[in-house]
Amino acid sequence: MISRLAAAALAALCLASPGASAQTTPDVDCANAMTQMEMTFCAEQDWIAADAALNAAWAPAMARMRALDAHQPADLKGAADALRAAQRAWVSYRDLACTAEGYQMRGGSAEPMVIYGCRARLTEARTEELQALAAPM
């Protein structure tokens, strides 16, 4: 639902600007976003950037957990499996927590912006956690 709302907002923004048919994304200055559509677009871009950083932090964290497992007897292995399960649970938590936060603006044009902002904030925090897991002790 959020993606459809963002897509609709982007389409409306593109249609409103001259020469928009040639554009695939709007030309928005996120440092000076003024309209709700611009602010929502910028919040989405923040979340996309945070998600990319999270994905970059994932591989080293998983590699560290696998390395820890490699030095354990079979009955003590499980770091990589635990991290994978934790990440899956975290994604569910993030999405539900941000949906709940979005209810502050339920049905309004700012709801997607609130959700994207929440996702970016929680994703940035999770990235730091993964980076800490990847760091040697």
Backbone angles phi and psi of 56, in degrees to 5? -70, -35
pTM value is: 0.78
Give the chain's length: 137
- Please state which CATH number belongs to domain 30-134: 1.20.1270.180
Say what the pLDDT of residue 83 is: 98
Say what the pLDDT of residue 8 is: 42
**Strand, helix or coil for residue 33:** coil
79-93 as b/e, with b when 16 or more CB fall inside 10 Å? Answer: bbeebeebbeebeee
Assign 103 a pLDDT band (cuts: 50, 70, 90). Answer: very high
Model pLDDT for residues 9-68, shown as the tens digit of each residue = 444 443 333 343 334 567 889 999 999 999 999 999 999 999 999 999 999 999 999 999
Q: State the average pLDDT for the chain.
A: 86
- Boundaries of every domain in the chain: 30-134
Assign 136 a pLDDT band (cuts: 50, 70, 90). Answer: confident
Say what the pLDDT of residue 119 is: 98
Nearest of 27, 39, 12, 23 to residue 110 by alpha carbon: 39
Identity of the amino acid at 15: L
Q: Using CA atoms, how far apart are residues 98 and 128, in angstroms rounded to an integer?
A: 19
